């Protein structure tokens, strides 16, 4: 597994990394996140997953994923995940944002994204960047591998 640190036993009988992957999606992007996770289910099942309430409930119901849920984003869930970033409990953030719709809790979203940057936690806001993150997790990118993604096309 790409992430290191203390492990915890998962329900499937194998050790899961202590740090979790945070999964969040604005309402208009939840279906897109579900589709992305369907493609990466086997890999994601190896990790501890944490999500805001609406996203987590959808993932548990549609994909039978084991997800730890915090509050919904507007009810403080974004801030709870931000606190987990500060505490070193989050390995990466997959947050499919909706840039075309105004969000009532946009200041919470900005704070979460700021904390990921400040604490050097990799994050993705769309399927393409999430694909790259899952393929080349933090600390695993080698110069040759990184340059292969930029082949000039």
Active site residues: 78
In the structure encoding, which two tokens stand for residue 34, read together? 């579900």
Instruction: Name 8's bridge partners.
Output: 16
DSSP string, 17-50: ESSEEEEEE-GGGHHHHHHHHHHHHHHHTTSEEE
Least Cα distance to 15 among 25, 4, 27, 30 occurs for 4
Residue found by looking up tokens 């849920």 in the block: 69
């Amino acid at each position: 597994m790409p992430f290191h640190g203390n492990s915890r036993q998962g329900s499937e009988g194998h050790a899961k990394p202590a740090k979790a992957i945070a999964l969040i999606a604005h309402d208009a992007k939840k279906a897109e996140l579900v589709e992305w996770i369907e493609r990466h289910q086997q890999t994601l099942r190896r990790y501890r997953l944490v999500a805001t309430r609406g996203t987590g409930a959808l993932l548990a119901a549609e994909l039978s994923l084991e997800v730890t849920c915090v509050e919904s984003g507007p009810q403080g869930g974004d801030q709870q995940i931000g606190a987990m970033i500060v505490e070193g409990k989050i390995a990466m953030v997959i947050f499919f944002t909706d840039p075309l719709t105004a969000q009532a809790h946009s200041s919470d979203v900005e704070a979460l994204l700021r904390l990921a940057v400040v604490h050097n936690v990799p994050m993705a806001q769309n399927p393409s960047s999430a694909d790259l993150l899952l393929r080349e997790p933090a600390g695993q990118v080698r110069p040759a591998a990184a340059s292969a993604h930029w082949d000039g096309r």
